[in-house]
A and B are shown apart, each in its own frame.
Chain A
């Protein structure tokens, strides 16, 4: 699911927010209008067991309990396990509200009638969100089933101090050549230039997304993922050829590391940069404030001037209400609170870095890294969700993931790999 139609309006919005202009303007609490008639205990299912996001979500739950007087039971599940079992979970006795992803991943469950219709919640939230978020929260039937929490841009992350030490300007890594120059300097110092992990089979999809968008443009990328272009196209092969230029600067054990392994390389100053979503600010902060202040993000550099840096992967995470939940009304009330500026603020107040999806959010409390994330977003005209959210799930996980892994093992096999990708796409059953 992508939000091309709304790219421009969202971009304008974020620019405005970054300037602090509309940040506080429309902010007089909207929640006051809807006295909480929904009451009773409920349960909330978190899709994480990590320290930082747990603290953040518990902050939200506590704020909601205080405001509504409803008792909330907090259930946490490790994110992969949660994802694998979601279908069974929603058909059984699910938590009333739970964490999920926007777009394709949400629409499937909405189609199956497993998610509660949130159109009435959106009547209250509408004024607080830009339309692109509403589109991403909307099912194929035109009703809303999702409330956004946060988003994170995928960009090139590095430590400002390390780049400065190399005698380069950390604010100005703008083209692919700039990046390679930086990598060369890092390599000379015995560092990994471009840290990568792909043991999970999904991490490197972000690299494919961005090189494809930079080289061939947004339109080709979405057409390819929707099956309107062929994987055997020379342009796809070119993506892998371009990617190959990064391999001399990449750690050799890509298939042995998960995303957090690549992050550790950067955290421990063994690597100079990595391409990832900015969700891991919390991990840097856990180490020390100094490490966090050093962390920086820029858009993945320009490759083809025709497309500049006009596209970015920026997946939206948020909440849904289960149709089979014990207390759907309270579940809705809870996620209305979560999506409201007030609930967002409760999460931000925990001190865990997050970029709120709410346009009324007061961004004046954002730190430099968060503001830079807004800045990175504002440079993009088109927003994509991520390969495994933008194409069929029975293609992304079982086919594209292993294909990229086998490319890492043997980049010379690129022709064979794209042939196999195309053949497997064509063999997919009609949905």
Chain B
């Protein structure tokens, strides 16, 4: 650790010395332009959204903005029961992704990396859904599962008494989760597979020579060496679960009330006409929920790295 830190210092000094005015200009442009774009397209709208969540505004004339204080948040927490059902659904979503979908993706990656028979085929098959946007995924599954869709057709159910995949709230959230996982698993698999390919085979060999079982090798050797990938996978799992929106929107349309999630509440409130800035307040809540655990986790893991 110390030696790399020292290297960094020396390289910094030497690099600084080598910069010609031309280099500085080039580097300035390389850093400045993306930073400006990033500020303009990401941070300014994000901060504006947070600001607007404390106002009443129809979203059209700047002069109509009225200060609302915490009224939008008060309304969400105390007068909008659907917020709590949405939060519950998002938590279930996160738990499902964290405990089922992501581990499955990791398992598949591990299997494919072990060159099981037909691994090339499986790799392609699992990865195909990732190429499709969630919107397309939604449409495909809708064709399969709707009352006059493929599955009900195969089962010989007619439109008056089909299996209600999307309309029965005992399981419709889980139907949606299976659809979302179909894509998420492939994504995680690919990320993890790329990481596994980079693991030095010598480590595995050494473990095998020492008599470690497959499970022990994975848990004690592979998993720790994969640390950077693990962090990415974890962060992606959290983000994907909280920002979920597309599939529910495709299946249920704007109202999305049958499977309320925070993403659809944001959209429902900002789209259409005459809506207050409640949508902005939902977006802010979602932002805080997503960024909180991620910052905490990253800080924790960087702290460990420094040690």
Contacts and interface: CB of A to CB of B under 8 A. Distances in A.
A255 B168 CA distance: 8
B264 to A, nearest CB: 10
Chain A CB within 10 Å, residue with most, of B61, B82, B254: B254
Contact of B274 (A202, A256, A264, A394): A394
A108 B158 contact: no
A91 interface: yes
9 contacts: A112-B58, A251-B160, A253-B161, A261-B159, A270-B158, A394-B274, A394-B276, A429-B72, A429-B75
Given A200-B253, A200-B255, A256-B164, A429 B71 contact: yes
Contact of A112 (B60, B81, B254, B269): B60
A239 interface: no
A430 B278 CA distance: 13
A392 interface: yes
A426 to B, nearest CB: 8
Contacts of A411: none
Contacts of B146: 256
Contacts of A252: 161, 164
A400 to B, nearest CB: 10
Interface in A392-427: 392-394, 397-398, 401-402, 405, 409, 420, 423-424, 426-427
A424 B79 contact: yes
Contacts of B169: 409
B253 A201 contact: yes
Contacts of A87: 59-60, 271-273
A376 to B, nearest CB: 27
B160 to A, nearest CB: 5
A300 B157 CA distance: 31
B276 A393 contact: no
B257 A201 contact: yes
A20 to B, nearest CB: 40
A365 interface: no
Contacts of A253: 147, 160-162, 164, 167
Contacts of B269: 394, 398
B273 A109 contact: yes
A392 B278 CA distance: 15
Interface string A318-341: 000000000000000000000000
Interface of A: 80, 83-87, 91, 105, 108-109, 112-114, 192, 199-202, 251-258, 261, 264-265, 268, 270-271, 392-394, 397-398, 401-402, 405, 409, 420, 423-424, 426-427, 429-431
Contacts, number: 124
B257 A402 contact: yes
A393 B61 CA distance: 19
Given A80-B254, A112-B61, A270-B159, A105 B273 contact: yes
Given A85-B271, A253-B162, A429-B56, 8 more contacts: A86-B272, A87-B59, A87-B271, A200-B253, A255-B167, A398-B82, A420-B81, A429-B71
A257 B257 contact: no
B167 A199 contact: yes
A5 to B, nearest CB: 24
A427 B72 CA distance: 10
A402 B255 contact: yes
A355 to B, nearest CB: 26
A295 B41 CA distance: 54
Contacts of B208: none
Contacts of B168: 255-256
A205 to B, nearest CB: 11
Given A202-B255, A420-B81, A429-B68, A393 B271 contact: no
